[in-house]
């Protein structure tokens, strides 16, 4: 079935939810002393986002944003 709506598409939303659900597994891949403080999902944006709030070894706070972008079917080969 061809995707008709991309802003956001159901696939983008499902993928963003799956990324958020993997937070604990992702945290195990960080260096010792680094951790995920919070995760925020924005599913209703044109391109859904998952925002990870992180703390490094020194206690500094950071954000990493994963934005989900589905290319139109006509672009995918």
Dihedral angle of Cα 24, 65, 11, 4, to the nearest 10 degrees: 170
- Assess contact for 34 and 55: CB atoms under 8 A: yes
Confidence of residue 2 (pLDDT cuts 50, 70, 90): low
pLDDT digits (tens, 9 = 90+) for 44-64: 999 999 999 999 999 999 999
* pLDDT at residue 77, as a whole number: 74
The reported pLDDT for the residue numbered 7 is: 82
Query: What is the reported pLDDT for 58?
Result: 97
For the entire predicted model, the pTM comes to 0.85
Task: State yes or no: pLDDT of 1 exceeds 60.
Answer: no
């Amino acid at each position: 079935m061809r995707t008709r709506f991309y802003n956001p598409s159901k696939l983008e939303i499902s993928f963003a939810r799956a990324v958020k659900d993997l937070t604990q597994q992702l945290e195990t891949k960080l260096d010792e002393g680094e951790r995920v403080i919070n995760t925020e999902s924005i599913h209703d944006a044109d391109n859904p986002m998952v925002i990870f709030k992180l703390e490094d070894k020194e206690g500094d706070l950071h954000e990493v944003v994963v934005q989900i972008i589905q290319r139109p079917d006509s672009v995918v080969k």
